[in-house]
Structure 1
Amino acid sequence: MKQFTYKAITQNNKRISGIVEAKDKEAAIKILKEKRLLIINISSQSDNFFYKLSLSFSKVSGSDIVFFTRQFAIMMNSGLPMIQSLNILKKKTSKAMAKVIDDIIQSIEGGSSLYEAMNNHNKIFSPIYLSLIKSGELGGVLDQVLEQLANNLEKERDFMAKVKSALFYPGIISVVMVGILIIMVFFVMPQLAELYKQFDADLPITTTLMISGSEFIRHYWFIFFFIFLLAIFAVIYFLKQSQVRQEIDKIILRLPYIGDLQDKIISTNLMRTLSLLIKSGVSIVDSLQVLSAGAGNYVYQQGITGTIRNVEKGMSLSDSFAQENFLPELVIQMIIVGEETGKIDETLAKIARQFEKESVIALKTMTNMIEPMMIIVLGIGIGVMVFSIIMPIYNLTSSF
Structure 2
Amino acid sequence: MKVYLWKGKNPKNRTVKGEMEAETPEQVKSSLQRRKITSVKVKEKPKDILENIAMFQPAVTETDVILFCRQFSTMIDAGLPLLQCLEILYSQQENPTFKKILKKIKEGVETGETFSEALGRFPKIFDELFVNMVEAGETGGILDIILRRLSAYMEKMAKLKKQVKGAMTYPGITLAIAIIVVAVILVFVIPVFSQMFESMGGALPAPTLIVIAMSEFVKKYIVFIIVGIIVAAIGIKKIYNTKKGRIIMDDMILKVPVFGILIKKVAVAKFTRTMGTMMSSGVSILEALDIVAKTAGNKTVEFAIGDVKVGISEGRSMADPLLESGVFPSMVCSMIAVGESTGALDTMLGKIADFYDEEVDQAVKNLTDLIEPFLLVFLGVVIGGLVIAMYLPIFKIASVVA
In the superposition, the TM-score normalised over structure 2's length comes to 0.78
Asked whether the 8 Å contact 1:163–1:360 carries over to 2, the reply is no
Separation (CA, whole Å) in 2 of partners of 1:367 and 1:121: 37
Structure 1 residues 208 and 70, CA gap change in structure 2 (3 angstroms): farther
Asked whether the 8 Å contact 2:120–2:127 carries over to 1, the reply is no
Partner of 1:77: 77
- Number of positions where the alignment pairs a residue of Structure 1 with one of Structure 2: 354
SS in 2 for 1:65: helix
Partner of 1:6: none
Once the two structures are superposed, the pairs formed by residues 1-400 of structure 1 within 5 Å of their partners are: 53-54=53-54, 58-90=58-90, 91-200=92-201, 202-319=203-320, 321-322=322-323, 326-395=327-396
SS in 1 for 2:126: coil
TM-superposed deviation, 1:187: 2.7
Separation (CA, whole Å) in 1 of partners of 2:72 and 2:352: 28
Separation (CA, whole Å) in 1 of partners of 2:55 and 2:117: 18
TM-superposed deviation, 1:302: 1.7
Partner of 2:37: none
Separation (CA, whole Å) in 2 of partners of 1:73 and 1:192: 69
Separation (CA, whole Å) in 1 of partners of 2:139 and 2:56: 31
Asked whether the 8 Å contact 1:238–1:244 carries over to 2, the reply is yes
Separation (CA, whole Å) in 1 of partners of 2:52 and 2:106: 15
TM-superposed deviation, 1:122: 0.7
Separation (CA, whole Å) in 2 of partners of 1:297 and 1:304: 11
Partner of 1:17: none
Separation (CA, whole Å) in 2 of partners of 1:176 and 1:57: 32
SS in 2 for 1:315: coil
Counterpart code for 2:121: N
Asked whether the 8 Å contact 1:55–1:96 carries over to 2, the reply is no
SS in 2 for 1:273: helix
Separation (CA, whole Å) in 2 of partners of 1:99 and 1:131: 22
Asked whether the 8 Å contact 1:64–1:93 carries over to 2, the reply is no
Asked whether the 8 Å contact 1:201–1:396 carries over to 2, the reply is no
Structure 1 residues 392 and 321, CA gap change in structure 2 (3 angstroms): closer
Separation (CA, whole Å) in 1 of partners of 2:71 and 2:201: 72
TM-superposed deviation, 1:155: 1.2
Separation (CA, whole Å) in 2 of partners of 1:304 and 1:164: 24
Structure 1 residues 268 and 281, CA gap change in structure 2 (3 angstroms): same
Partner of 2:12: none
Asked whether the 8 Å contact 1:132–1:277 carries over to 2, the reply is yes
- The Cα offsets for residues 351-394 of structure 1, whole Å up to 9 and x where unpaired, read as 11112222222232233222212111111112212212323344
Structure 1 residues 320 and 187, CA gap change in structure 2 (3 angstroms): closer
Separation (CA, whole Å) in 1 of partners of 2:322 and 2:222: 53
- The Cα offsets for residues 91-137 of structure 1, whole Å up to 9 and x where unpaired, read as 34433323332332233333322222222221222221222122222
Counterpart code for 1:375: L
Counterpart code for 2:359: E
Asked whether the 8 Å contact 2:59–2:97 carries over to 1, the reply is yes
After the TM superposition, which of the residue ranges 208-217 and 339-348 deviates more from structure 2?
208-217
Partner of 2:35: none
TM-superposed deviation, 1:266: 0.3
Q: Name structure 2 gaps, 5 residues minimum.
A: 1-22, 25-46
After the TM superposition, which of the residue ranges 245-254 and 279-288 deviates more from structure 2?
245-254
Q: Name structure 1 gaps, 5 residues minimum.
A: 1-22, 25-46
SS in 2 for 1:73: helix
Separation (CA, whole Å) in 2 of partners of 1:228 and 1:159: 30
Counterpart code for 1:232: A
Name the % identity.
29
Aligned Cα root-mean-square deviation (Å): 2.8
TM-superposed deviation, 1:300: 2.0
Counterpart code for 2:347: E
TM-superposed deviation, 1:320: 5.2
Asked whether the 8 Å contact 2:258–2:367 carries over to 1, the reply is yes
Separation (CA, whole Å) in 2 of partners of 1:217 and 1:365: 36
Counterpart code for 2:74: I
- The Cα offsets for residues 149-169 of structure 1, whole Å up to 9 and x where unpaired, read as 000111122233333344444
Partner of 1:11: none
Asked whether the 8 Å contact 1:55–1:99 carries over to 2, the reply is no
Partner of 2:31: none
Counterpart code for 1:147: R
TM-superposed deviation, 1:399: 6.7
SS in 2 for 1:220: helix
- The Cα offsets for residues 158-198 of structure 1, whole Å up to 9 and x where unpaired, read as 23333334444433432331231132133322333333344
After the TM superposition, which of the residue ranges 320-329 and 254-263 deviates more from structure 2?
320-329
Asked whether the 8 Å contact 2:167–2:367 carries over to 1, the reply is no
Asked whether the 8 Å contact 1:275–1:344 carries over to 2, the reply is yes
After the TM superposition, which of the residue ranges 318-327 and 379-388 deviates more from structure 2?
318-327
Counterpart code for 1:84: Q
